[in-house]
Amino acid sequence: MEEHKSKGGRMDQHGSRYGAVYAQWRADPGAFWLDQARAVDWVEPPRLAFDPAQGPYGSWFPDATCNTCWNVLDRHVQAGHGSRIAVIHDSPVTGSKRTLTYAAMLEEVQAAALALQAVGVGKGDRVIIYMPMIPEALVAMFACARLGAVHSVVFGGFAARELATRIDDAEPVAVVTASCGIEPSRVVAYKPLLDEAIGLAAHKPAACLVVQRPQLEAALTPGRDQDWAAALGAQRGRACPCTPVAATDPLYILYTSGTTGKPKGVVRDNGGHLVALAWSIGAIFGIGPGQVIWTASDVGWVVGHTYIVYAPLLVGATTVLYEGKPVGTPDAGAFWRVCAEHRVTVLFTAPTALRAIRKADAEAALMAGHDLSALEALYLAGERADPETLRWAQGILGLPVIDHWWQTESGWPIAANPRGLGLLPFRAGSPTAPMPGFDPAVLDASGRAVAAGEMGTIALRLPLPPGAAPTLWRADERFRTAYLDEFPGWYSTSDAGFIDSDGYLFVMGRTDDVINVAGHRLSTGALEEAVALHPDVAECAVIGVADALKGEVPCAFVVLKDGGAGSALGRPEAEVAAEVVRVVRDAIGPVAALQRVHVVERLPKTRSGKILRGIMKRIVQAEPYVSPPTIEDPAALDVIARAVR
């Protein structure tokens, strides 16, 4: 994308170093990443940046060796920072809080590593971690890294059959789990789900370590299961050296749903991951030693792996581990309470969390009384950040609200506004500019770049940078087929968007979410922006449905703010729907052809906040569908079905 190279000077005129840094990367990518690699403690430092002959598109730092656990814990303790707080666990669902220093984390991790070693886990072996948002989840991840083992985190409470498919694919030696997870209104027993999954799986793990939580004690299977506390207690106080691994060796496998029904195991390597995270948390998020970052996600998602678990501790910062919800634990002021109490510097959450807060507390009355003076910025990712939500957050906080875009496969932000380099001018609806290592273009179906402002598929020029997935677990050919074959020389993101005349990137949704209305290509993202202009709309989703005359027409589902039109004001749904239609017509024009609007109490989403538009479309069109294992609230699908009857 030459636009960014040529406009670097203009960007620097705004006080940001972004243009110069991006140009430095473009001029010599290998030298750039070798320079960033100096932030990592290596066993054997890299001399070669990149080998194009390894893997589907190449590999980073192929001659280096390292250990990730050493970099996130040992080196800080050795440098005299053992008393610094590493992890703050805040659990409103259990009413408990806990802090762990770097020294305390190191002690726990060494004991956990020895406990795993005692059940047969060694270098290259896999361990599945099936856990709630508790510190033991991080301890287990770091313990695997210490041994050179490969962890695969699966959401606690995930369906047994889905867990079984991951057990069969990863073939773990051991599973680390907890007796239960805590939801606002219920306790979810994990152990019966794990037992069922192991029963279904062809591969049988040799051992399970179980964290017994006070809310529910699990029955242990003799000969296979061990109590976590007892297993660590037998090892505590003993040293467990870090195992050197090749920089190209896998650190973890993170499964995403595959289109074939077989989950895709996204691989993250050790060396490239360390280098990318050390650079990105400082340059993009502006976080350094001793500062507090709260990534309000789950360790089961890539966001949790990257910016709850590894990146903050890599640079000696403090991470907040939150076991709760944005609303309901106890109310829509929960986020502000946590930020104030723990002196959070940067909050990173999904737009859907903000929409939930806005729906319940549109005037931000519950922010009153919370000292947010330590908070410097709010970051949003995981679902498209619509301009209305951005403007609302900026208005109540008076702080930079920074949209950024990335994927499980990329491992860290593809495009962002890099606070650590100096912010660029904001443009609502855009995650701003590509980060070093990522060279995006918008391509048409034939692989040709489209004109500025024209919609197409966003693709990234190969090679992908350090920290991006080098391949899929034991599936190089599937990686090529899924990501590289569509546009030779490029990685296809399967996201649709455009680049404007100033080089700002706009991500409008998945390519499947672009609808063709009588020959006009419209993104559901643009339509949702228009729907959200209605002052009483808290959240919305637009899908394209089949139409005999126009091919496809948009259908909108809207959730209203508490006390908004059609609810507390008591106006009929048809009246509210007509207003939404007028708002969209005024914003986009008659080409939008929006006529169907349904007012609903909630939208079906995954646990990360992504709206399940594909399944909604199947419901509207009376087609068969399967509820995905990552769905947050399966009953929300019934809400959509009732609305369209």
Nearest-angstrom CA–CA distance, 618 and 596: 16
Cα angle vertex 598, ends 597, 603, to 5°? Answer: 120
Q: pLDDT band at 456, cuts 50/70/90?
A: very high
In the prediction, which pLDDT does 468 show? 98
Is the pLDDT higher at 138 or at 547?
138
In the prediction, which pLDDT does 7 show? 39
Give, in order, the Cα–Cα distances in Å from 188 to each of 132, 139, 467: 10, 22, 34
Q: Is the model's pLDDT at 622 over the cut of 70?
A: yes
Q: Is the model's pLDDT at 250 over the cut of 90?
A: yes
Tens digit of each residue's pLDDT (9 = 90 or more) over 163-188 = 999 999 999 999 999 999 998 889 99
Q: Is the model's pLDDT at 388 over the cut of 50?
A: yes
Nearest-angstrom CA–CA distance, 171 and 164: 10
Distance separating the N- and C-terminal Cα atoms of the chain: 47
Which of 111-120, 240-249, 628-637 is least confident? 628-637
In the prediction, which pLDDT does 377 show? 98
Q: Is the model's pLDDT at 599 over the cut of 60?
A: yes
Give, in order, the Cα–Cα distances in Å from 201 to each of 121, 198, 413, 626: 19, 5, 35, 21
Q: pLDDT band at 2, cuts 50/70/90?
A: very low
Q: Is the model's pLDDT at 394 over the cut of 80?
A: yes
In the prediction, which pLDDT does 568 show? 41
Q: Is the model's pLDDT at 342 over the cut of 80?
A: yes
CB neighbourhood size of 223 (10 A): 7
Average pLDDT, the chain: 92
SS3 string, 341-403, reads HCCCCEEEECHHHHHHHHHHCCCCHHHCCCCCCCCCEEEECCCCCCHHHHHHHHHHHCCCEEE
In the prediction, which pLDDT does 204 show? 98
**Considering the chain, what percentage of its residues have pLDDT values greater than 90?**
77
In the prediction, which pLDDT does 512 show? 66
Instruction: Kindly state the tokens that stand for 178.
Output: 């907890």
Is the pLDDT higher at 536 or at 233?
233
Identify whether the C-beta of residue 405 lies closer than 8 Å to the C-beta of residue 414. yes
Q: What is the rounded average pLDDT of the residues 382-401?
A: 91
Q: Which of 508, 396, 498 is nearest to 450 (CA)?
A: 498
In the prediction, which pLDDT does 168 show? 97
Identify whether the C-beta of residue 320 lies closer than 8 Å to the C-beta of residue 334. no
Phi/psi of residue 486, nearest 5 degrees: -60, -40
Q: What is the rounded average pLDDT of the residues 403-413?
A: 96
Nearest-angstrom CA–CA distance, 582 and 603: 22
Q: Which of 4, 33, 39, 32 is nearest to 19 (CA)?
A: 4
Tens digit of each residue's pLDDT (9 = 90 or more) over 553-595 = 899 999 998 865 544 456 788 888 999 999 988 887 777 788 8
pTM attached to this predicted model: 0.87
Is the pLDDT higher at 443 or at 530?
443
Q: Which of 145, 189, 152 is nearest to 172 (CA)?
A: 152
Which of 180-194, 210-224, 379-393, 415-429 is least confident? 379-393
Is the pLDDT higher at 550 or at 488?
488
In the prediction, which pLDDT does 592 show? 79
